[in-house]
Structure 1
């Protein structure tokens, strides 16, 4: 990486941000410009305003951490792995709630002072409403992964950092947290930041998948089409083969609304293969017979006991459905 970096001129940065933020055409063409416009027009912020300390007390921070519950516990080992792989490059790992409050972090010893000076630390608030465009707040506002590289930040006081944030969604498909990796080092290049951003997205998906499986620990978890490519595509299925849960991306892929879980549908219907498997009582009975035979490893006496019928009845029903006795 090149270590030569021209410092951001505060006056020039503020002028550029104001010009673009107040241009309606720019906001329509660029998501970054749209975030700058929100920062000025919606939240009334100024890019060159003096830095305001926005930090929660310990009691309120504990409440925020408690509210995250399982997500906080699930994210810890993933954050540890991220810190182990990126810490030597001067990167810190942060987890925030949906209000932009940093509730957990991993920071290299040599970079802790720089992050404290920047105000990116546990208990600090990094919503767009407080800090303007940044990796955590803009990720929350847009519910998508974002990279805010140095002078792409709204406030000139935040241009010392590069921030890569990714959303973490809960088992209901709602935004639950933001995983962020940030660096205060001047030698971080944009290509390297892009690689880090992909790593952060993968880590956020891992947290989401781990959390979903924990939330539905007593259900069967099925991976859907495109899992890991476009996002975490997981579905939870109960003992009656009904889909009782789905991740945000699975809901999008299979067109599942919240109403779909109030009146659960069979997995075959959700996956769109019911016409191949057949529907109705006969098809259901045939499937249950095949499952029982498989579970009993072909032992017909055990199959009959499992189904609570006699062997003669079992054979009649097998013959009816064209199932061999071998």
Structure 2
């Protein structure tokens, strides 16, 4: 009992942050950070004992269905890890990004004790619910870690020892956590270091299996610090499109890229789309020299910041089925938002999978990237009720009733939440909502209830909440522009829209937007294609739409309106004009477009670009282009 009191007092001392920072602590810093989140972000009471929470069967089915592909890929790694620790009373848990256990391996004789402790299928170990624990702290920090006995926030978990490692998807997002736990363990924390290495290795191998499964039609560059393990157990991997741009990565590769580029490895969207030559002293044309045709010791490369590695390049499996064929699983409402961009295809597949759910969604991206359009498309395929969009910057702090409604004994005046009943409420630029209104919004996101101004009782709501922001989430939290508890509630399911300059389907989007503006098909010659493909588009889709509308209003259309209009770069404003050719950032996009328009007449394309036919043939081979 005294040990519990001492533990509670130690945690409470952490809340006195100024005093604590000046003192030394025996706790691992990652444990201290988690305790502080539990106190300040999640509002947990260290003196309260919480029973393990097992989600209802219907919710568990949802979480398992959402993780079905991951579970299938991870199966071999999970079974292999459990064999290593079997007989030592370890329990193996695989959770999704919400902290819900979607796979579980444990001794049948311990079933009742494991379920009572929460080391069981369907248990939720998010930090907000369970306090400091390996699964929850791993989701929050993104790092492998040990939470041993009294490291736990809740004293009821004090006997447990839990060790976890994150699993990232190929876009750089944390998608799952692998955990091995003990109901009781030796007192020294160091006793779990072996378990930490085992789960870290298993998570890395699961990520490797995942990127290989997703990248059968792409180049894969596998990396290791030693040539002896390069072909059997690589440390990291990148998948590359036919132009040499990164379209997928393991977490080890993300950290490697980020260090070389001077970026944060957690910002996967800033790493995807980078050309391999930006990270390594390596060109696309040299990949073939890194295949197994050469000895592993001779497959030596170096990062731009001087880090030496051995590489194994795996050629794509040749197929006449285009990679974008996966888009057949995307409803038309979402499919219309993108062309043949792999990153957008993956994002829209995720949006389609989430469209019919009830959980809040966060859509972030630069201004003009299409966040509100994506939110309305998700509503169109997932809900039957109204779709209400609210610009948060238009609501003042004393105007709660606009959003929450107003009620007295005889009258109820509905607000936007009530107006969206049965449908979707889109909150644009959530960070601009006044702090007092942000606080009132938390219960709507967590309990699906809200209290109108002047009301004494909560009202239930079935509206699906989608929020958007153009701001950096970490910056919002640091500046306290967005309440941490609110940010935690909305960021669990996040869709990050790429900037237009990062997309490979800009020419397809231009076709659509210009046709809408001109009222007829619009063609672009080689100079116009180069200008569109290589512009930075700081205003994103808004800027492209504005250009189309402006040109439609200023260019006089001649001839039959049914005939296509042809634009050159001379029709564009001066800042948009660019030169095409092999040296441009989007040369692959430009060449593919010109070949399609010319019916793959190589001579005609060569004349357009002012180069030799052999140059076009070399570029076709380099980019892996093929006639549809």
**TM-score bin, normalised by smaller chain:** 0.7 to 0.9
What is the CA–CA distance in structure 2 between the aligned matches of 1:107 and 1:8, rounded to whole Å?
32
Q: Aligned pair 1:19/2:13, yes or no?
A: yes
User: Does 21-30 or 163-172 show the bigger shift?
Assistant: 21-30
Q: Secondary structure at the match of 1:224?
A: strand
Q: Which residue is 1:247 aligned to?
A: 250
User: Does 134-143 or 179-188 show the bigger shift?
Assistant: 179-188
Q: Which residue is 2:269 aligned to?
A: 258
Q: Secondary structure at the match of 2:66?
A: helix
What is the CA–CA distance in structure 1 between the aligned matches of 2:271 and 2:145, rounded to whole Å?
31
The Cα offsets for residues 165-191 of structure 1, whole Å up to 9 and x where unpaired, read as 100000101100000000012436423
Instruction: For residue 239 of structure 1, report the CA deviation from its aligned partner.
Output: 4.4
> Cα distance 1:160–1:27, how it changes in 2: closer, same or farther (>3 A)?
farther
Q: How does 1:178-217 map to 2 (within 5 A)?
A: 178-187=177-186, 189-217=188-216
What is the CA–CA distance in structure 2 between the aligned matches of 1:83 and 1:167, rounded to whole Å?
17
Q: Which residue is 1:318 aligned to?
A: none
Q: Secondary structure at the match of 2:133?
A: coil
Q: Secondary structure at the match of 1:92?
A: strand
Instruction: For residue 55 of structure 1, report the CA deviation from its aligned partner.
Output: 2.2
Instruction: For residue 138 of structure 1, report the CA deviation from its aligned partner.
Output: 0.3
> Cα distance 1:204–1:8, how it changes in 2: closer, same or farther (>3 A)?
farther
> Cα distance 1:246–1:101, how it changes in 2: closer, same or farther (>3 A)?
same
> Cα distance 1:8–1:109, how it changes in 2: closer, same or farther (>3 A)?
farther
> Cα distance 1:53–1:31, how it changes in 2: closer, same or farther (>3 A)?
closer
> Cα distance 1:273–1:76, how it changes in 2: closer, same or farther (>3 A)?
closer
Q: Is the 8 A contact 1:27 1:37 kept in 2?
A: no
Q: Which has the higher helix share?
A: 1
> Cα distance 1:80–1:18, how it changes in 2: closer, same or farther (>3 A)?
same
> Cα distance 1:12–1:222, how it changes in 2: closer, same or farther (>3 A)?
same
What is the CA–CA distance in structure 1 between the aligned matches of 2:284 and 2:69, rounded to whole Å?
39
The Cα offsets for residues 283-316 of structure 1, whole Å up to 9 and x where unpaired, read as xxxxxxxxxxxxxxxxxxxxxxxxxxxxxxx9xx
> Cα distance 1:31–1:186, how it changes in 2: closer, same or farther (>3 A)?
closer
What is the CA–CA distance in structure 2 between the aligned matches of 1:50 and 1:241, rounded to whole Å?
54
Q: Which residue is 2:50 aligned to?
A: 51
Q: Secondary structure at the match of 1:55?
A: coil
> Cα distance 1:206–1:25, how it changes in 2: closer, same or farther (>3 A)?
farther
Q: Is the 8 A contact 1:8 1:159 kept in 2?
A: no
What is the CA–CA distance in structure 2 between the aligned matches of 1:32 and 1:177, rounded to whole Å?
20
> Cα distance 1:243–1:32, how it changes in 2: closer, same or farther (>3 A)?
closer
Instruction: For residue 69 of structure 1, report the CA deviation from its aligned partner.
Output: 3.1
Instruction: For residue 275 of structure 1, report the CA deviation from its aligned partner.
Output: 12
What is the CA–CA distance in structure 1 between the aligned matches of 2:126 and 2:146, rounded to whole Å?
15
What is the CA–CA distance in structure 1 between the aligned matches of 2:7 and 2:186, rounded to whole Å?
20
Q: Aligned pair 1:271/2:270, yes or no?
A: no
Q: Secondary structure at the match of 1:164?
A: strand
Q: Aligned pair 1:176/2:175, yes or no?
A: yes
Q: Secondary structure at the match of 2:86?
A: helix
What is the CA–CA distance in structure 1 between the aligned matches of 2:278 and 2:33, rounded to whole Å?
40
Q: How does 1:100-139 map to 2 (within 5 A)?
A: 100-139=99-138
Instruction: For residue 242 of structure 1, report the CA deviation from its aligned partner.
Output: 4.6
> Cα distance 1:259–1:32, how it changes in 2: closer, same or farther (>3 A)?
closer
Q: Which residue is 1:293 aligned to?
A: none
Q: Is the 8 A contact 2:147 2:161 kept in 1?
A: yes
Q: Is the 8 A contact 1:74 1:210 kept in 2?
A: yes
What is the CA–CA distance in structure 1 between the aligned matches of 2:206 and 2:212, rounded to whole Å?
10
Q: Is the 8 A contact 1:8 1:151 kept in 2?
A: no
> Cα distance 1:268–1:44, how it changes in 2: closer, same or farther (>3 A)?
closer
Q: Which residue is 1:234 aligned to?
A: 237
The RMSD of aligned alpha carbons is 3.2
User: Does 249-258 or 43-52 show the bigger shift?
Assistant: 249-258
Higher RCO (CA < 8 A, seq sep 6+): 1
The Cα offsets for residues 14-55 of structure 1, whole Å up to 9 and x where unpaired, read as 122222344345369733222111111211111221324522
Q: Is the 8 A contact 1:21 1:34 kept in 2?
A: no
What is the CA–CA distance in structure 1 between the aligned matches of 2:205 and 2:98, rounded to whole Å?
22
User: Does 87-96 or 15-24 show the bigger shift?
Assistant: 15-24
Q: Which residue is 1:79 aligned to?
A: 78
Q: Which residue is 1:159 aligned to?
A: 158
User: Does 241-250 or 152-161 show the bigger shift?
Assistant: 241-250
Q: Number of aligned pairs?
A: 274
User: Does 52-61 or 240-249 show the bigger shift?
Assistant: 240-249
Q: Which residue is 2:416 aligned to?
A: none
Q: Is the 8 A contact 1:102 1:125 kept in 2?
A: yes
Q: Which residue is 1:320 aligned to?
A: none
Q: Is the 8 A contact 1:26 1:34 kept in 2?
A: no
What is the CA–CA distance in structure 1 between the aligned matches of 2:44 and 2:137, rounded to whole Å?
14
User: Does 24-33 or 95-104 show the bigger shift?
Assistant: 24-33
